[in-house]
Structure formats: C-alpha cells, structure tokens
Amino acid sequence: MIVFILTIAAALAALLGGYVAIHSRKQLHAAMALTSGLVLGLVAFDLLPEVFEGIEGQGLDPVWPMVLFVGGFLIFHIVEKLILVHEGAEGEYGPHRHPKLGLARALALAGHSFLDGLSIGVGFQINPSVGLAVALAVIGHRFADGFDTANFMLMHKNKLSQIKGFLAIVVAMPIIGGLASLVVTFSETTLSLYLGFFAGLLMYIAASNILPQAHTKGSSYKAIALTISGVIVMFIITRFV
C-alpha cells in the first residue's frame, strides 16, 4: 500500500511540474536546485552504501555494480543526446525545432518514469528506509520531469492536446512501475546490480538535467546554497531518520 501511495505522490509531482511549465515558471529554479541536492545525496549516502553492503553480503565482484552504474549514466546520456541531436543545430532562423523531437523526448521520459516507480518498490524490497529515501528523491525529480516534458514540447511547437496527452502518460508511468514491483521479487544480487544502474541514472539526471535548470543569471549563489541544503537534508534523512 505504501508503495502505491508514494508512486501516486510521484505522479502528482510530475503533474504539478507540467502545470508550472504551461502556466508559470516562478520558483522553478529554486525547486530544481534543491532537488539536485536531494538526488545527489540519495546516490552518495543511500544507494551506493546499499550497493556496497550487497557486494559484501553476497560476495559479488564490485566491478559489476559499478559497470552498471556507469551504464545507467551513459545509457540515459546516449538516449537523450540521440533524441536531442538536432536541438542545437542552428539554422538561419535559430535552433532547429520540430514536433517529432518533442514527442520523442516525451516517450523517453515515459520510460524513465516507469523505472522511477519500479525503483520505489525495489527500495522497499531492500528495507523501508531505502524505500522512503528513494521515494523522496523520485518525487523531487518527478516535478522536473513533468516540467521538462511540457516545456520541451512547447519549445518544439507541439499542440497543447498532445502535450496534455503525453503528460498524462508520464504521470501514470510511476504508478504502473510501482505496481509492477509488487508482483516481481528480486534476489539480493539482482537488487545490488539494479541499484548500481539506478544510481548511475540518477547521477546523470541530477548533474545534466536538473542542476543546469537551477542556475539563471543572478541566482547562482542561491542555487548553490539550495543544492548544498538538499545534500545535507538527504544526509540527515539517511543517517538519522
């Protein structure tokens, strides 16, 4: 039940992000800065220690979870850059824009959203504290995903009806992923390997997707302070709560 409730919270966070992208951008950069710190803290203080504990307990060769860590980072990077390959191409009238790019990005985020929900469930399979920490970080960056989906499609001239339709998919996917985790049980070895992959994926999202959105002209010091605050909050949560 708790997994279902938390995935609904993640879905609502994505919906809120999409609403903000369509109607307003106030306070977005502050939210992104705090979220990037939360995600970084989750990876450093919770996911990777759990991976190391699994390595020790299962007698795994530590190189394999780390291979998957790098793989998670690179896979999301490669998929994103392939989808956005034309975005930076400058033409006579500015950056190349096409509705198909907006649709492709939305589909990629839908797949990522499923993994978010699945990861909340996987965290609870390890123990409740890991599950709650993963859920907190997922809910934080789901706002960014909802915003990113709507904003990117707006930039590429997609119709509002298309934006709302794909946003609904992105919103629903964490719930589906969470429900999938309730019927699939992972072995301890598989959990350690999966957490390595998910940690790499989150590291890329924090460094390359969320954090750059946090910095605008005149707001860098505030963004830095909020990012550090997010890291400290996650350290306290994972160590003492």
- The count of domains in the chain is 1
In this prediction, residues 17-41 reach a mean pLDDT of 73
pLDDT band at 19; cut points 50, 70, 90: confident
Dihedral sign for Cα 212, 214, 215, 220, please: negative
Residue 5 CB partners (closer than 8 Å, separation 6+):
none
Question: Residue 188: is it exposed, middle or buried by C-beta count within 10 angstroms (0-12/13-18/19+)?
Answer: middle
In this prediction, residues 212-227 reach a mean pLDDT of 72
pLDDT beyond 50 at 190:
yes
pLDDT beyond 60 at 48:
yes
In this prediction, residues 86-108 reach a mean pLDDT of 51
- Cα gap 106→100, rounded to integer Å: 10
In this prediction, residues 87-114 reach a mean pLDDT of 57
pLDDT band at 15; cut points 50, 70, 90: confident
Does residue 174 contact residue 138 with C-beta atoms inside 8 Å? Answer: yes
- Which domain range does residue 172 map to? 2-240
The residues facing 58 across adjacent strands are none
Does residue 238 contact residue 45 with C-beta atoms inside 8 Å? Answer: yes
- Cα gap 209→184, rounded to integer Å: 30
Collapsed DSSP state (helix, strand, coil) of residue 129: helix
> How much of the chain, in percent, has pLDDT values that exceed 90?
5
Residue 130 CB partners (closer than 8 Å, separation 6+):
46, 47, 50, 123, 124
- pLDDT of 195 reads 85
List the one residue out of 213, 150, 157, 140 whose CA is nearest residue 24.
Answer: 150
Element (H, E) at 171: helix 160-183
- Cα gap 178→229, rounded to integer Å: 29
Q: 122-161, pLDDT tens digit by residue?
A: 888 888 888 888 888 788 767 766 776 676 666 666 677 7
